[in-house]
């Protein structure tokens, strides 16, 4: 099994998270509290540095109150 | 940071993968070759036992020739 290369989904998720936070006027700290995830971790996801799993993606979606699949869709 | 609980996305992804394989008449082995991922790993994803990351989700979607976000959508 080869190492999985960075996928373009990282940038799509990062962009959607930044857009949703901006629309709501939320800081990363506020989002972190809504999701129950670490702020440093979420910051890395927003810089496309973290390869987020679907369990954490679900928490982010729940925090924003959106459907998970919308986070993977390029606007 | 709490441990992330199993999300309902695992079952959605698992179901979509099984459906897409069935529609194409593909074995797990065939899918594994198309994705460049390990068959044992994909089998665990299809049993909702693996918390797949977006980089691997992308490879699965590429293997099937579908958009990644469709794998997170309940039919």
Q: Which residues of chain B have pLDDT under 50?
A: 1
Write out pLDDT tens, residues A33-72: 999 999 999 999 999 999 999 999 999 999 999 999 999 9
- Pick among A72, A73, A75 to test the B interface (most B CBs inside 10 A): A72
Where along chain A do its domains lie?
9-66
> A6: which chain B residues are within 8 Å (Cβ-Cβ)?
55
Cα B28 from Cα B1, distance rounded (Å): 35
Fold of A9-66: 434 Repressor (Amino-terminal Domain) (1.10.260)
**Torsional class of A38: left (φ above 0), alpha (ψ -120 to 50), beta (otherwise):** beta
* CATH code of the domain occupying B9-68: 1.10.260.40
Band the pLDDT of A75: cuts 50, 70, 90: confident
Distance, in Å, from the CA atom of B18 to the CA atom of B16, rounded to the nearest integer, reads 5
């Amino acid at each position: 099994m080869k190492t999985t290369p960075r996928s373009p989904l990282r940038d799509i998720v990062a962009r959607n998270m930044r857009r949703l936070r901006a629309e709501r006027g939320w800081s990363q700290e506020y989002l972190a509290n809504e999701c129950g995830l670490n702020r440093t971790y979420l910051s890395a996801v927003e810089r496309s540095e973290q390869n987020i799993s679907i369990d954490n993606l679900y928490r982010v979606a729940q925090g924003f109150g959106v459907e998970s699949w919308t986070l993977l869709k390029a606007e």
